[in-house]
Amino acid sequence: MVLSPEQAAEIDRLRTETHQTLRPTVPALEELLFHPIPILDHGFVRVIDYMGDDGAVVQAARVSYGRGTKRVSEDKGLINYLIRHRHTTPFEMCEIKFHVKLPIFVARQWIRHRTANVNEYSARYSILDREFYLPAPENLAAQSDQNRQGRGEVLGGDEAARVLDLLREDAQRNYDHYLDMLNEGTDGKPADPGRSGLTRELARMNLTLNMYTQWYWKIDLHNLMHFIALRADPHAQFEIRVYADALSHVLDRWMPITAAACREHIIGGARLSATGLKLVKRLVKGEKVTQADSGLQPREWRELATLLGIDPA
């Protein structure tokens, strides 16, 4: 990721401005504020603003006038209790706003999380930059035989090079056609005075999905944890997982107690069906259980066996 001189100057300006406030701030997150976290080849995540901290979660849970309890251990215990028992509203009281630059195909997955406020860069109003995502060779994989949404073996050297050439050529060609249809010079006048340019809202139609877009994304703490739990999972697509990993890093700085509780109970924990729980109780008693007499469908049986580290056969 390369910042333009204008972008770097803007970040420096924002970092030198200070504002007096009576509301809680988080020094570890203040250090990160406005700085871009590089992701993929041209992408990034930046924290623009935030509201609340671990103490604000405790305060909301107790509806008190103070800043939580006097002992951190009590705040930690309450936050773990809230997450463990799915009391989500105290976490909805805290919010954070990001500036995200990401490939369009990743944005189309991301927007499925409909619990945030989003304002995206408008290609009807502005001209998109010549920036598109090209995977690293180690991330070029064949279609999985087992999972229609997953990847299989990494492509070999010659085949990977051929695919990268196709991706690069398609993106470059389509962007050249985009500029040609716009017929706009850098001075805002027609590049070819002899013809009219196509409107921006139509010229963008042929751009490839690996073009980069940008948006401001504001979300509450509860739904941020839900996003991270789903998208930082090893089964998530790599290109969105790296963004979720960056958001997880931000969460660690912003809400260290809540982040640890999230890893303990949401990311590292597991939910069982009623039948699955009965099965676990039978296993604890020492019973020999097979899929046929477990009461579970084959897929749930395999998932539970993997979770418990037992042989599904």
Residue 114 a catalytic site member: no
Q: Can you tell me the distance from the alpha carbon of 27 to that of 15, in angstroms, rounded to the nearest whole number?
A: 13
Q: Give the domain extent around 172.
A: 137-206
**Does 313 map to a domain?**
no
Residues 32 and 84 placed together within one structural domain of the fold: yes
Residues 76 and 48 placed together within one structural domain of the fold: yes
Q: What is the pLDDT of residue 167?
A: 94
Final residue belonging to a domain, choices 180, 206, 232 = 206
Q: What is the CATH number of the domain that holds 97?
A: 3.30.1360.170
Residues 21 and 97 placed together within one structural domain of the fold: yes
Token digits for 158? 């010659």
- Residue closest to 228 by CA, chosen among 250, 212, 213, 210: 250
Residues 166 and 72 placed together within one structural domain of the fold: no
- Residue closest to 98 by CA, chosen among 153, 43, 59: 43
Q: What is the pLDDT of residue 65?
A: 56
Residues 105 and 228 placed together within one structural domain of the fold: yes
**Does 132 map to a domain?**
no
**Does 161 map to a domain?**
yes
Q: What is the pLDDT of residue 64?
A: 62
Per-residue b or e along 125-160, where b marks 16 or more CB atoms closer than 10 Å to that residue's CB: eeebeebbbbbeeeebeeeeeeeeeeeeeebeeeeb
**Does 237 map to a domain?**
yes
Contacts of 107 (CB under 8 A, 6+ apart): 120, 213, 215
Q: What is the pLDDT of residue 248?
A: 98
Give the predicted TM-score (pTM) of the model.
0.89
Q: What is the rounded radius of gyration, in angstroms, for the C-alpha atoms of the chain?
A: 24
Residues 145 and 228 placed together within one structural domain of the fold: no
Q: Can you tell me the distance from the alpha carbon of 208 to that of 235, in angstroms, rounded to the nearest whole number?
A: 25
DSSP character for 107?
H
Profile the chain (313 residues) by mean pLDDT over runs of 10 residues.
Answer: 81 88 92 95 96 94 66 85 94 97 96 95 91 91 60 76 93 95 84 88 94 97 97 93 98 97 93 93 91 90 89 79
Structurally, the chain folds into a number of domains equal to 3
Residue of 231, 282, 299, 302 marked catalytic: 231
**Does 185 map to a domain?**
yes
Residue 30: is it exposed, middle or buried by C-beta count within 10 angstroms (0-12/13-18/19+)?
Answer: middle
Residues 251 and 201 placed together within one structural domain of the fold: no
Residues 14 and 105 placed together within one structural domain of the fold: yes
Final residue belonging to a domain, choices 206, 233, 255 = 206
